[in-house]
Chains A and B, each alone.
Chain A
Amino acid sequence: MLVDTPIAILRKKIQDKQVSPEEVITDCYDRIDKIQPQLNAFISTVQKETVLKKLKVHAKDMPNPAKPLAGIPFLLKDSYVTEGIRTTAASKVLDDFVPPYTATVCQKLEDAGAILIGKMNMDAWGHGGSTENTDYGPTKNPWDVSRVAGGSSGGPAAAIAARLASFAIGEDTGGSIRNPAAWCNITGLKVTYGRVSRYGCIAYASSFDTVGPMAKTAEDCALIMEVIAGQDPYDGTSSPHPVPSYRAALGTISPQKKTIGIVKECFGEGLDNEIHAAIDQARNELESMGCVVKEISMPLLRYGLPVYYLIGPSETSSNLARYDGIRYGNGREHFTPETMRRILIGTYALSAGYYDAYYKKAQQARTLFIRAYDEALAQCDALLMPVNPTPPPNIGELMSDPLANMLADVYTTSQNPVGVPSLALPCGFTKNNLPIGMQLVGKMFSEDLLLALGHAYQHATDWHTRRPTLS
C-alpha cells in the first residue's frame, strides 16, 4: 500500500522515479472508493481526472529539490478555503460556497508539490469534539464504525488512519487536532499560536485557532512543518520567530536528560483506567529512553474548561456574525443547535451587564494560565497529559448532552488560550482495540523538541504503525 509509506521514503521514490505520482494517486482513489462510504470522512473529493491531468503537467518537473512534497497526496479539513473548490466548514450555511482565494497553508503545500485530493468532514465551524455537529453526517471511527472519530478534525483523522492520503491539515482551537488523532491512532500537532498562517482558515476563535499537520508519524509531521511554518504577510498574527529545520531536529535533539512533567491533576477521577494505564506505560518508556520524569501540580487546570468555553464562544459569536447570506452563503437559520448555543453563550458573555463577570474574568484567568504554564515549563522540558478522558464513545452519545460534550474536552482546552504547542501521539489500545493517545505539551515554539521526543518514542514503540481493518 503505497500511501502507507513514510513521506520521507515516498517522496524520494517519486523524485528518483521508482514510483510515479500517478500510481500513488490511483492507490489513494481506489481506497477512497472502497472506504469513504464506510467512514464518511470526505465532504468534497477532488475529481481523480483533474488530479491526474495536473500531475501530467508537473511530471517533467521531477526531480525537483524545490518541491519537497512533490506527488504527495494530502487532505484539508473543510475549514480551509480553496479557490474554485467548494468549502463548507461542514455547515449548510456554506453548502454552495466556492471560495475565490486559497488559504496560505494550502498554497504553500501545493507550491511544494503536494497534491490536494479532498476537503474533509468536521464539526461545523470547529464546534465540537466528535464530528457529529456536521451537516454532512457523522464521520465514523475506522477502528469501530459505531463510534465517533473525534473532532473537530474527525474527517482528516479517520482518513489518515485508513490510509486514504499521506497527510492532512487539521485545525486545533481546543483540541480539534489532538482529540481525533488520539481516537483514530494517528499523530497530530497543535502548533504554537502564530507558528502557521491562519490566512484562509475559516475562523472559530481567532486568538485560539491553530493550523497543524495530522499524519502517521512525528517524522511525517516534521516534514510538513518545514513547508507550512513561518510568517505570512497576509496573517498579522503569524509569528516572525525563525523556523528551525524540524527534520534535522529529529536527529539532533536527544531525549536524554529531558524532563517530562506528569501533571497530577490530569490523572485523577474522571480519567478512564485503561487510558491511565497506557500513559503510565508510556511514561516508563520515556524513562527508558533517558528522560527524567517528575510529578508536578497545576491546580488551575480545573478552570481550563470555563476559560475556554467563555472566550471561545465569545470570539465565535463575533466571527460568525459575518454569515448573513448576503454576499455568499445561506441564512443563519441553517446554523445547527450546537453552533447556535455557542453563539448565544458568547453573545451573553460579551453583553452589557455580564461582560465583566464572564468575558473579562475569563481573560484575566487566561493570564493566570499563562503564568501557570510558564511555571510548569520552567521546571520541565515538556508536560505529559492525556488527550481524551475516555475511549471514543458511540455515535449519538455526546450529542445528547451539551454539557457532557463540553466536559470531554477537559485535557485539551487549556493549551490554546495560552498558545503553547502540543503533540498527540498513539500510546496504546483498550481491550476493545480502541486507540489511546497522549500529548506532550511544550514551551512556545518548541515544536522541534516535541517532534524529536515523539520521533524517539515512535522508534521505541509501534502503536502508531497499527492500522484499522477495513474491507
Chain B
Amino acid sequence: MHQKNAATAKLSIEDVQHVVRLAKLPIEPSRVPAFHEQLQSVLSYMSGIQELPTTNVPETSQVTGLTNVLREDVIDTKRMFTQQQALANTKRQHNGYVLVNAVLEEA
C-alpha cells in the first residue's frame, strides 16, 4: 500500500467521511465539516512528531516486558455466565438468542 506523505497531506472532508465509515460512527453529513475543522487543528499540532529522529528506533507497544502470559487450560466456573446473565442486558432477544440486524439478503 502506498504510504501517503502525511507531513504534507492535508486532511480532506473525504478523508473524514472515510474514517467516519471505518469507525462506524453514525454522524450526519451536516456535522462532518465541524469535525473536519477540529480534526485538522488537532492533527496539525500532533504532526510535530514528524520532527523526531526515529531511524532504527524500534516501536514500543507495551511496557510490561512480559511475553506469552498463559493460563492452565481448565474451566473457571467463576467466570462463566448462565444464559440468563448473558442475555440480561440485551435490548432484543428471541428464544434465548440475541437479535442482530440481518446481514444477508434473501435470495
Chain A interface (Cβ within 8 Å of chain B)? 96-98, 100-101, 193-194, 207, 233-234, 236-237, 239-240, 300, 303, 305-307, 309-310, 317, 321, 324-333, 335, 337, 340-341, 343-345, 347-348, 351-358, 360-368, 370, 402-403, 406, 417-419, 444
Contact A357 B42 (CB under 8 A): no
The residue from B47, B50, B64, B89 contacting A237, defined by CB atoms under 8 A apart:
B64
Name 18 extra pairs, CB < 8 A, besides A331-B26, A364-B57: A97-B89, A100-B85, A193-B64, A194-B66, A237-B62, A239-B64, A325-B91, A333-B26, A341-B42, A344-B23, A353-B4, A356-B3, A357-B3, A357-B4, A361-B54, A367-B58, A368-B57, A417-B63
For window 22-80 of B, CB contacts with A under 8 Å fall at 22-27, 35, 38-39, 41-43, 45-52, 54, 57-64, 66, 69, 71, 79
Q: Which residue of A lies closest to B37 (CB)?
A: A402
Contact B61 A363 (CB under 8 A): yes
Counting chain B CB atoms within 10 Å of each CB, the highest count among A327, A331, A332 belongs to A327
**With A353-B4, A357-B6, A365-B49 known to touch, is A347 a contact of B57 (CB < 8 Å)?**
no
4 tightest CB-CB pairs across the interface, nearest first? Answer: A357-B6, A328-B89, A363-B59, A419-B63
Q: Give Cα A193 to B46, complex, Å.
A: 24
With both chains docked as a complex, state the minimum distance between the C-beta of B60 and any C-beta of chain A, in angstroms.
4
Contact B52 A363 (CB under 8 A): no
Q: Give Cα A402 to B86, complex, Å.
A: 38
**With A403-B45, A418-B63 known to touch, is A100 a contact of B81 (CB < 8 Å)?**
yes
Asked whether B13 is an interface residue with its Cβ less than 8 Å from the other chain, the reply is no
Chain B residues, Cβ within 8 Å of A193: 63-64
Contact B63 A335 (CB under 8 A): no
| Binding site secondary structure of chain A | helix
Contact A348 B49 (CB under 8 A): no
**B84-107 interface code vs A (CB 8 A; 1 in, 0 out):** 011011110000001010000000
With both chains docked as a complex, state the minimum distance between the C-beta of A265 and any C-beta of chain B, in angstroms.
15
Task: Give the B interface residue count (CB, 8 A).
Answer: 55
Chain A residues, Cβ within 8 Å of B90: 326-328
A–B pairs, 28, beta carbons within 8 Å: A98-B89, A194-B63, A194-B64, A233-B71, A236-B66, A237-B69, A321-B23, A321-B24, A326-B90, A327-B86, A331-B26, A340-B27, A341-B35, A343-B23, A344-B23, A344-B39, A354-B4, A360-B59, A361-B54, A363-B61, A364-B54, A365-B52, A366-B60, A367-B60, A368-B54, A406-B45, A418-B63, A419-B64
With both chains docked as a complex, state the minimum distance between the C-beta of A69 and any C-beta of chain B, in angstroms.
22
**With A101-B79, A233-B71, A361-B49 known to touch, is A345 a contact of B25 (CB < 8 Å)?**
no
Q: Give Cα A240 to B66, complex, Å.
A: 9
Q: Give Cα A406 to B5, complex, Å.
A: 25
The residue from B41, B57, B88 contacting A100, defined by CB atoms under 8 A apart:
B88
Counting chain A CB atoms within 10 Å of each CB, the highest count among B11, B51, B69 belongs to B69
Chain A residues, Cβ within 8 Å of B18: 351
The residue from A305, A324, A370 contacting B60, defined by CB atoms under 8 A apart:
A370
With both chains docked as a complex, state the minimum distance between the C-beta of B57 and any C-beta of chain A, in angstroms.
5
Q: Which residue of B lies closest to A367 (CB)?
A: B60
The residue from A240, A321, A361, A403 contacting B42, defined by CB atoms under 8 A apart:
A403
Contact B60 A341 (CB under 8 A): no
Q: Give Cα A306 to B49, complex, Å.
A: 6
Q: Give Cα A343 to B88, complex, Å.
A: 28
With both chains docked as a complex, state the minimum distance between the C-beta of A250 and any C-beta of chain B, in angstroms.
27
**With A233-B71, A354-B6, A402-B41 known to touch, is A303 a contact of B52 (CB < 8 Å)?**
yes
Chain A residues, Cβ within 8 Å of B24: 321, 324, 332
Contact A344 B20 (CB under 8 A): yes
Chain B residues, Cβ within 8 Å of A348: 11, 15, 19, 39, 43
With both chains docked as a complex, state the minimum distance between the C-beta of B28 and any C-beta of chain A, in angstroms.
10
The residue from B22, B26, B88 contacting A351, defined by CB atoms under 8 A apart:
B22
Q: Give Cα A348 to B35, complex, Å.
A: 13
Chain B residues, Cβ within 8 Å of A418: 63
Q: Which residue of B lies closest to A357 (CB)?
A: B6
Contact B22 A207 (CB under 8 A): no
Contact A345 B15 (CB under 8 A): no
With both chains docked as a complex, state the minimum distance between the C-beta of B90 and any C-beta of chain A, in angstroms.
5
Chain B residues, Cβ within 8 Å of A306: 45-49
Contact A403 B41 (CB under 8 A): yes
Chain A residues, Cβ within 8 Å of B62: 207, 237
Contact A207 B98 (CB under 8 A): no
With both chains docked as a complex, state the minimum distance between the C-beta of B93 and any C-beta of chain A, in angstroms.
10
Q: Which residue of A lies closest to B46 (CB)?
A: A306
Contact B7 A357 (CB under 8 A): yes
With both chains docked as a complex, state the minimum distance between the C-beta of A356 and any C-beta of chain B, in angstroms.
5
Q: Give Cα A234 to B89, complex, Å.
A: 23
With both chains docked as a complex, state the minimum distance between the C-beta of A354 and any C-beta of chain B, in angstroms.
5
Chain A residues, Cβ within 8 Å of B60: 363-364, 366-367, 370, 417
Chain A residues, Cβ within 8 Å of B64: 193-194, 237, 239, 419
